[in-house]
Amino acid sequence: MTAMTTRSSCSRMNLRRAGSRTNSLRSSSIVCCRFRGMTLGKITIHRKYYNRPRRRFRHHEEEAAEAHTVTESAQTEGESLSVAAAPVMIQEPVTAEPIGRDMPVAEKIEETAPEEAAPKPPDSRPADKRSRFSWLLLIPAFLLGIAVMLLWNLFQTAPEPKPAVIDPLTPTERAIQKTHRNVVSVVNMQKANNLLNESEVPAEVGIGSGVIYKLTEKEAYIVTNYHVIKDATRIQVTLPDNRKVTAKRVGSDKWTDLAVIKVPKGNISSKIEFADSDDIIVGQTAIAIGSPLSQTFAGSVSQGIISGLNRAVPVDLDGDGLYDWESNVIQTDAAINPGNSGGALVNDDGKLMGINAMKISLDNVEGISFAVPANDVKKLSAILETEHRIERPALGVQLQDMNHLQLDALKQQLGLPDDLTAGVMIMAVEPRSAAEAGGLQPQDIITQIEGKRIDGLVQFRKALYYDHKKGDTMDMTVFRQGQTKHMKVKLK
């Protein structure tokens, strides 16, 4: 009984102390235990702003053992414990997490406000909705920013647009401006002969034109027609700035009617560009530049179109009234007059399409002129620069066109068949020539070369010069004294 009383008084004293702290600190907690058949709930003494350091209570297992001992003693002695302390509020236990085995009890005690009901948490749904749709407020702001920028740009002073550069020149004018300084006058000067004496000073006997097509460090190369400088003892060139210089002959070829001369470069700074004459089409603009009639009209320009391509035009090279050659040329209706020979025929880009060479001059004919194609000019002028002439195979015979002979007399004399009306007759054979080595004889009539029919002298020369070169063996069909023979001749 004494021991029990002691414990009861200890418990009462502890409770009183706890109650006294309630008034001052307004916070404390006591773990519930089983006492005299009653189960006490969790006693919570509310506190506010309690900053006292946490106490280290005994382990919950020791507390449970002590509570059990007190309960058994109370039941045995039949005494009740009275709690003399300040009134406290006993509440129903509040759900809390279980206290861990090694964790202090005080750390797991739940605290509430002393006398006020716990405030309900605010409803978060409106806030959630506001946060969910708050980004929509950015759209009007974004649109407003764009509108402000547009208005700002609208009211800014826009720079005045630069006026479009309009070329006042037409394509023809541009082509002339580009090429006129590349076309020169070429004067053929020869010494005059008479019965008394021979003049020492060459005089002008003809005039033509030329085109500057190549420049080196010291010289300018000019292409012109062979007949412009034929038999000249001195060649004088008048440049676009009216300076007169003496030109030197580089090379020439009478069959293609082309020649190359050169002059000191001086202040010549430009040359003409070649067009691809294989790309020329009928109807294309053609501009002729040259010096018709005399130097008074140097730099004259005429315009037309390309009238035809790949024209085969027979020409008389020696002036005997007979056609000696057949030139491959392009046709134009641009006005070409004496003095235009050797001048430029250019397109709208100012590129050389051909070298003006000849025209048909008849009373009832107008606007039919011809030019050597640019591709032929480019190829042959390069050969004339280095070789000074076009090397062609030689047969070593003098020929006559059958059309120019008296066929009736020949038929009786040579026994020609009635169907033999075309070919070339050998009039003479040069000594030590390819013809002599091949067994050809005078009065032989050549009717075919490599199986192709020969109608006249022009076709024979084209077959010889175009299809063969020096050292080739040429197969010919020859009619001799009533018999047809096949002969092979190695050209020299």
Answer with the one of 391, 422, 442 that is the final residue of a domain.
391
Does 122 map to a domain?
no
* Residue of 227, 291, 302, 369 marked active site: 227
Residues 387 and 419 in one domain: no
Residues 335 and 276 in one domain: yes
What confidence score (pLDDT) does residue 197 get?
59
φ/ψ region of 297 (left if φ > 0, alpha if ψ in -120 to 50, else beta) reads: alpha
Residue 191's CATH number = 2.40.10.120
Closest CA to 380 of 391, 365, 390: 390
Residues 194 and 330 in one domain: yes
Please tell me the total number of residues recorded for the chain in this structure: 492
Concatenated DSSP letters of 226-253: HHHHTT-SEEEEE-TTS-EEEEEEEEEE
Residues 173 and 63 in one domain: no
Residues 49 and 98 in one domain: yes
User: In this structure, what token pair is assigned to residue 46?
Assistant: 């509310």
Is position 227 annotated as part of the catalytic site? yes
Residues 354 and 470 in one domain: no
Residues 239 and 367 in one domain: yes
Residues 65 and 179 in one domain: no
Is position 486 annotated as part of the catalytic site? no
Phi, psi of 202 (to 5 degrees): -65, 145
Does 174 map to a domain?
yes
- 196 touches 222 (CB < 8 A): no
Task: Tell me which residue has tokens 């009275």.
Answer: 82
Residues 252 and 372 in one domain: yes
* Number of domains making up the chain: 3
Does 143 map to a domain?
no
425: three-class secondary structure by DSSP: strand
Residues 383 and 261 in one domain: yes
What confidence score (pLDDT) does residue 164 get?
66
Does 334 map to a domain?
yes
CA angle 480, 485, 490 (to 5 degrees): 105
* Residue of 341, 369, 401, 444 marked active site: 341
State which residues form the domain around 85: 2-108
Residues 347 and 446 in one domain: no
Sequence-ordered alpha helix ranges (H) in 44-159: 60-77, 125-133, 138-155
User: In this structure, what token pair is assigned to residue 366?
Assistant: 């107008």
Closest CA to 484 of 392, 406, 400, 420: 420
Residue 450's CATH number = 2.30.42.10
What confidence score (pLDDT) does residue 160 get?
65
Does 175 map to a domain?
yes
Residues 6+ apart with CB under 8 A from 156: none
* Residue of 27, 46, 252, 257 marked active site: 257
Q: For the chain of 492 residues, list the mean pLDDT of each consecutive stretch of 10.
A: 39 40 40 42 49 50 51 45 42 43 43 48 53 69 82 66 73 90 93 64 88 94 95 91 92 93 91 93 94 87 93 82 83 92 94 93 87 94 92 88 76 76 88 91 90 87 86 90 88 88
Amino acid at position 218, single letter:
K
Return the DSSP state at 360: -
The Cα–Cα gap between 428 and 132 comes to 116
The Cα–Cα gap between 122 and 277 comes to 95
Residues 342 and 292 in one domain: yes
Does 123 map to a domain?
no
Is position 231 annotated as part of the catalytic site? no
What confidence score (pLDDT) does residue 50 get?
47
Does 24 map to a domain?
yes
What confidence score (pLDDT) does residue 125 get?
53
Residues 6+ apart with CB under 8 A from 48: 26, 27, 113, 114
Does 134 map to a domain?
no
User: In this structure, what token pair is assigned to residue 383?
Assistant: 């050969």
Is residue 60 packed enough to be buried (19+ CB in 10 Å), middle (13-18) or exposed (0-12)?
middle
